[in-house]
Amino acid sequence: MRILIVEDDSRIAKLISRGLEENDFETTIAYDGMQAITLLRQISFDLLITDIILPQMDGVDLCKQIRNVNQDIPVLMLSALGEIDNKMRGFDAGADDYIVKPFELRELVARIRVLLKRNSNAGKSMGSTLVYDDLTLCLDSKIVKRNEQNINLTPKEFKLLEYMLRNAERVLSRNEIAENVWKIAHDTGTNFIDVYINYLRKKIDKEFDRKLIHTRAGLGFILSKD
């Protein structure tokens, strides 16, 4: 598996590269976002690891550019910035996972293997559309509509809605959502899932009389017409 590491600190970049190569990964290093874009156009990578703070183009903007042309490559963000707002910026840009520095190499390797396994099992869905009531989500085109009105979602909002559509009329706990949408264990000290549910409500329900996203107190959330 070929991994692109985007890190402006050469010492850290080389440490990560050496550690991953010891675990049988092939690595390439880019020291800024522009160099990473150039390499991505030239070489096919299986996964991208990027720091958030980078010269010329930060990791969030880099992720956004990548998602404009490649929805499938897993992106794992590294940063010393651990605040929930920074994590949400990364997820909104299309990141699949987020690790706060400092971290242990074995944790990084474990996260990488989970992302690569998930990506290899994802498969391609041709023309597949999820429908619930007047809400539709096209997995191919990434277009979401309610009552034929287009709804613009961020990549992580799209994944959250997709999971809720696949599990319509079933209460989803915060733990289940965290594990299946973010691929992480739910941290009870943060409310990022509630924040994203609120984002979806504003886009999916606010302009419509019938609400589809509901809270079940003490249990979680449900996509339901009732």
DSSP string, the chain: -EEEEE-S-HHHHHHHHHHHHHTT-EEEEESSHHHHHHHHHHS--SEEEEESS-SSS-HHHHHHHHHHH-SSS-EEEEES---HHHHHHHHHHT-SEEEESS--HHHHHHHHHHHHHHHHHH---SS-EEEETTEEEETTT--EEETTEEE---HHHHHHHHHHHHTTTS-B-HHHHIIIIISS---TT--HHHHHHHHHHHHHTTTSSS--EEEETTTEEEE---
* pLDDT in the model for residue 83: 66
- 22 contacts: CB under 8 Å, gap ≥ 6: none
Same domain, 149 and 43: no
pTM of the model: 0.58
pLDDT at 112: 93
- Give whole-number Cα distances, 220 to 110, 190, 204, in Å: 28, 15, 18
Same domain for 116 and 14, yes or no, is yes
Of 90-94, 97-101, 151-155, 184-188, least confident by mean pLDDT is 184-188
For residues 89 and 25, membership in a common domain is answered with: yes
The bridge status of strand 149-151 relative to strand 144-146 is antiparallel
Summarised one tens digit per residue, pLDDT across range 48-78 is: 999 988 888 888 899 988 887 677 789 999 8
Closest CA to 7 of 94, 115, 99, 69: 99
Residue 72 and residue 168 share a domain: no
Looking at the predicted structure, is the pLDDT value of residue 84 above 80?
Answer: no
Domain count, the chain: 2
CATH code: domain of residue 150: 1.10.10.10
Q: Which pLDDT belongs to residue 53?
A: 86
The span from the CA of 63 to the CA of 70, in Å, is: 10
Residue 17 belongs to domain with CATH number: 3.40.50.2300
Q: In the listed set 74, 92, 122, which residue is the last one of a domain according to the structure?
A: 122
Same domain, 103 and 192: no
Q: Is 166 found in the same domain as 86? A: no
Please tell me whether residues 209 and 134 are part of one structural domain.
Answer: yes
Q: Is the pLDDT of residue 127 over 90?
A: no
Instruction: Please tell me whether residues 118 and 138 are part of one structural domain.
Output: no
The pLDDT mean for the chain works out to 86
- 46 and 107 co-located in one domain: yes
**Residues of the chain above pLDDT 70, percent:** 92
- For the segment 165-192, the average pLDDT, to the nearest whole number, is 83
> In this structure, are 84 and 45 located in the same domain?
yes
Same domain, 97 and 143: no
Q: What percent of the chain has pLDDT over 90?
A: 46
**Domain boundary residue, one of 78, 102, 122:** 122
Give pLDDT, residue 68: 75
Q: What is the pLDDT of residue 121?
A: 52
Task: Decide which of 101, 122, 143 is a domain's last residue.
Answer: 122
pLDDT of residue 177 exceeding 90, the answer is yes
Q: 172: domain range?
A: 129-223
Asked whether residue 157 falls in the same domain as residue 211, the answer is yes
